Amino acid sequence: MSRQQLVIIGNGMAPGRMLEHLFEAQGDFDVTIFNAEPRVNVSLSLTELDWRFIGTIDDIPRQAARCVENDETKIAVFRTADDRIFALEDKCPHKNGPLSQGIVHGGCVTCPRHNWVISLETGTAQGAAEGRTAAFPVRLDGRDIYLQLHPGA
């Protein structure tokens, strides 16, 4: 089956709303979006439509987190001292403490409630602790952060 080309031209939220309708589409598309803001102009394949622009790296202080919500799930998006970006469900696997309020160090976050150390990459508790919170795929495009709203495998 050949790939189809789809071009979306719009301002504001119109391209995003149009993309929502593509989730129900059959087949494989090459999608190009043209918007008034240059950083919004992107090319996507149907398999990449699951990524959501959530802000820029400058929106998150180093060694801190900001939260986004997806339905009933709160997702903490972390920035490390060396500008790596990670996303975890904002629940410690121990007693659901808010990881977004924890201390970010290296590639981990320490839960503010009971000091559990959680890997930012995998969501897995470190050391003798056992448990895991959902980790979400993120990617940087320049300084823009994109989040996949379904946890990674």
Q: Which DSSP string corresponds to 11-35?
A: STTHHHHHHHHHTT--S-EEEEEE-
Task: Give residue 45's domain range.
Answer: 4-49
Q: How many helices (H) and strands (E) does the chain have?
A: 1, 13
Q: 71 and 128 in one domain? A: yes
Alpha-carbon distance values, 11 to 15, 18, 142 (Å): 7, 11, 22
Is residue 115 a contact partner of residue 92, using CB atoms and an 8 Å limit?
no
Furthest-apart CA atoms within the chain: distance in Å:
54
Q: 64 and 30 in one domain? A: no
Q: 128 and 72 in one domain? A: yes
Q: 59 and 42 in one domain? A: no
pLDDT score at 150: 82
Which residue did the predictor score with more confidence, 72 or 50? 72
Here the CATH number for the domain that contains residue 140 is 2.102.10.10
Residue recorded with tokens 């939260």? 67
Residue recorded with tokens 């593509």? 22
Q: 78 and 113 in one domain? A: yes
User: What is the C-alpha separation between 10 and 22, in angstroms, rounded?
Assistant: 16
Residue 51: closest CA among 70, 36, 67 = 70
The least confident of 96-100, 107-111, 134-138, 149-153 is 149-153
In a domain, 153, yes or no: no
Alpha-carbon distance values, 70 to 54, 89, 147, 149 (Å): 11, 10, 11, 7
Single pTM value for the model: 0.69
Residue recorded with tokens 């379904």? 150
Q: 102 and 41 in one domain? A: no
The tens digit of pLDDT for each residue in 8-57 reads 554 444 445 455 444 444 445 555 555 444 445 555 554 456 889 999 99
Q: For the chain, how many structural domains are there in total?
A: 2
User: What is the C-alpha separation between 129 and 141, in angstroms, rounded?
Assistant: 35
Vertex 75, ends 70 and 81: CA angle to 5°? 145
